[in-house]
Amino acid sequence: MKTIVYTLLLALCLTLAAPMTAFADEYKIPDAFPAGFNPPVDVTRGEKVGGFGGGAGSIAHNPIIFVHGNTRSAKDFIKTFQYFLGKGYTPNELWAVSYGHNNSTMIDSNDENAPDVAAFIEEVLRYAKTINPNVKQVDVISHSLGPTIVRKAIKSYKLEDKVGTHVMIAGANHGMELCAPGINTVCDELYPGSPWLEDLNSPVENPGPTKHVTIYDGTGKYDVAFNGDRIKDSPIIKGGTNYPLNMMKKLSVDHDELRYHPASLELQWQSVKDNLVAQSK
* Cα radius of gyration (the chain): 17
What pLDDT is attached to residue 28? 87
Q: Rounded to whole angstroms, what are the CA distances from 253 to 155, 214, 228, 243, 245?
A: 31, 15, 15, 14, 9
Among residues 126, 135, 136, 124, which one has the least CA distance to residue 91?
124
What pLDDT is attached to residue 133? 98
What pLDDT is attached to residue 105? 73
Q: Pseudo-torsion of CA 114, 119, 120, 123, nearest 10°?
A: 170
Residue ranges in the chain modelled with pLDDT below 50: 1-22
What pLDDT is attached to residue 216? 98
Neighbours of 225 (CB within 10 A): 28
In tens, the pLDDT along 164-179 reads 999 999 999 999 988 9
What pLDDT is attached to residue 20? 42
What pLDDT is attached to residue 18? 35
Among residues 91, 87, 144, 10, which one has the least CA distance to residue 267?
87
What pLDDT is attached to residue 23? 54
**Cα 210 off chain centre by:** 14
What pLDDT is attached to residue 276? 98
- Is-contact 59 128, C-beta < 8 A? yes
What pLDDT is attached to residue 24? 59
In tens, the pLDDT along 49-85 reads 999 999 999 999 999 999 999 999 999 999 999 999 9
Element (H, E) at 5: helix 2-9
